[in-house]
Structure 1
Amino acid sequence: MNKKQGLLLVNLGTPSAATPMAIRNYLTEFLLDRHVVDLPAFIWYPILKYLILPKRVPYIINHYQKIWIENESPLLRYSKRLINQLQLALPDMQCELAMTYGEPNLLSALNNLKSCEKVTLLPLFPQYSTTTTQAVLAKVKQLIADNNIKINFSYIRDYADHPSYIDALYSQVLQAFSIQGQPDVLLLSYHGIPERYIDKRQDDYVQRCQLTTKLLTNKCQENGIDLTIKMAYQSKFGKGKWVEPNTSDILEKLAKTGSKYVQVICPGFSADCIETLYEIDEQNREIFLNAGGEQFYYIPALNDTSLQVELIKDILEKTPFLKKF
């Protein structure tokens, strides 16, 4: 029997394999999206094809290979487990997973949802940005138009300040503290974006990150947790100016000014991926320890935990004004 309600979860994407060709194909699709890099195509495409990809792919292939789990990327592995658990938790909804770039692809997911009377699109980016959420919305709209798909769509812009999201982050922090001890500093590391996008696109991403940080800080203080909480931005790409402060710079400075123990959580990543498992837990761990720090712990993403399942259920139930396409 066809289900009347549908849920489409969308994350960024991942290479299909930790091989040069798969990584090259993924990066090409990702970096040619004008929402991600807004340079004119006639300028950007030759730079990407002949300068960036030939250097970038050999550089990062071993990074992917280090984090791969049983021939599968962590992001895809956790996302598939999450959608399966959501289907069990929401038996009256048809739950589909797609990636903005790569597989499982958006068109297949949209076709699977054709029989639903109403579909809610939830991009798994807690803080809205034109580089992520808007890229999903634009691609979905284009696919619907190009393929004459008739679906009554609503979408959730973001959930940066949703109480259940803050509670889930707080639970992750509490669990880390109980197992690993309380650090000198808790650092919230968000993915960075080019600074020019803030004014050029009226992108409120930084404000949404700041709001999440403020609410999580308040939650800790209200519950008697007294520690320094900082925020920073990671994953800078290219030579242009990106939002600051930079995660690596903050970690190095913390170590050099006496902080011995740091824990890092990445609130903007709903599932662990190369940016968290390698960039944070490998590269930035090394930066902190080499600068004089003594202990570093990365707090995992919500991934396929019950916290994430309950969070998504709460978002669906307690977001009264969904945005229409």
Structure 2
Amino acid sequence: MNKVDNLSPAKLGVLLVNLGTPDTPTPKDVKQFLKQFLSDPRVVDLNPWIWKPILNGIILNTRPKAVAKLYESIWWPEGSPLMVISERQREALSAILKARHGSDIPVELGMSYGNPSLSSGIDKLVAQGVERLVVLPLYPQYSCSTVAPVFDAIASDYKGRRNYPETRFSKEYFEHPAYIAALAGSVRRHWQDKGQGDCLLMSFHGVPLRYVTEGDPYQRQCQRTAELLAAALGLTESQWRLCFQSKFGKEEWLTPATDALLESLPGKGVKRVDILCPAFAVDCLETLEEISIGGKESFIEAGGEDYHFIPCLNEDEAHMQLLADLVDQQAAGWLKS
């Protein structure tokens, strides 16, 4: 029998996780994606006896065609922006980790909904000999509707494996200094190129207010991110606003709502706004269509004159260095520096 001293060090791998996207901007693929997404009780936690007839009988028969058109308006020749950018992030993170540690550290993508699935990402890592895994969800602020489903899915996947990697899970990074610095850097570069507007809007994805009253820390973490970013940029209270987008359904959601705020600002003398989406690590439908296109229409129609969308951090160098920092933080004791 081999001695313990002859055992090789366990190999580290990284699963980079985001929400996901339809495979194509067609009603068929959008319907399949929405069905998986909206069937997750972490996303919609209504009584299934009430929700499933609404989802299967109404929403999935009426929404896919309209949503497919929205996806079509932002689709790139290479594919879904979220997938194209995610693949660039995967490659960049792998290169940074290799440069830092002198050896290949496999990085694979896994999406909570759609393809590639979380299980397929784990399969690829295990096939490369990974025995220690860092799961890195790209959600700076924790919510029970985004980060928690990743944990659920990983645990569910492991139930079907005879053996699984020793796993560490990054939960949140809403106030990480490198995250705030990366956001501030992106805003400053935008101002240098386009000039500074009257107000900087920080639009976060919304959640039902009930989630927060039941213990979700998301709202508090968004507020903290916004305050830290405003401080890093030297903004006064009148120069920035926090708001929440993407409301779905009739339940009360976090406010102020981004669309309502955009419609109200011109009447208060704010004629130029800059807007970014700090809760999104990758540009996607909610940023490219809802904010960059739809937000501009709302603001201009309400009397605004100048509207500037600041892209997500995407594969920005400072952002990728932050993600490598998060991996190193979780892998403490697993890697030589």
TM (norm. structure 2) is 0.91
**2:208 aligns to what SS in structure 1?**
coil
The one-letter amino acid paired with 1:239 is K
**2:29 aligns to what SS in structure 1?**
helix
**Percent of aligned pairs with the same amino acid:** 38
1:113 aligns with 2:120: no
Report the alpha carbon displacement of residue 252 of structure 1 after superposing the two structures with TM: 1.0
The one-letter amino acid paired with 1:307 is A
Deviations 1:215-260 (A, max 9, x none): 1111111xx7896011000000011111111001111111111111
Report the alpha carbon displacement of residue 177 of structure 1 after superposing the two structures with TM: 0.4
Counterpart Cα distance in 2 of 1:20 and 1:133:
27
The one-letter amino acid paired with 1:281 is S
Cα separation, partners in 2 of 1:2 and 1:282, compared to 1, 3 Å: farther
How many equivalent residue pairs? 319
Other-structure match for 1:40: 47
Equivalent of 1:317, from 298, 305, 328?
A: 328
Unaligned runs of 5+ in 1: none
The one-letter amino acid paired with 2:313 is L
Unaligned runs of 5+ in 2: 1-7
Equivalent of 1:95, from 107, 113, 136?
A: 107
Report the alpha carbon displacement of residue 320 of structure 1 after superposing the two structures with TM: 8.1
Equivalent of 1:66, from 73, 85, 94?
A: 73
**1:249 aligns to what SS in structure 2?**
helix
Report the alpha carbon displacement of residue 25 of structure 1 after superposing the two structures with TM: 0.2
Report the alpha carbon displacement of residue 85 of structure 1 after superposing the two structures with TM: 1.4
1:212 aligns with 2:228: no
Counterpart Cα distance in 2 of 1:195 and 1:226:
24
The one-letter amino acid paired with 2:270 is S
**Larger-gyration structure (1/2):** 2
Report the alpha carbon displacement of residue 3 of structure 1 after superposing the two structures with TM: 7.3
Cα pair 2:82 2:284 within 8 Å, conserved: yes
Cα pair 1:2 1:116 within 8 Å, conserved: no
CA RMSD of aligned residues (A): 1.9
Counterpart Cα distance in 2 of 1:164 and 1:316:
13
Other-structure match for 1:75: 82
The one-letter amino acid paired with 1:209 is C
Cα pair 2:132 2:166 within 8 Å, conserved: yes
Residues 221-236 of structure 1 correspond to what in structure 2 (within 5 A)?
221=234, 228-236=239-247
Report the alpha carbon displacement of residue 321 of structure 1 after superposing the two structures with TM: 7.8
1:24 aligns with 2:31: yes
Counterpart Cα distance in 2 of 1:141 and 1:9:
16
TM (norm. structure 1) is 0.94
**1:101 aligns to what SS in structure 2?**
coil
Equivalent of 1:164, from 155, 161, 178?
A: 178
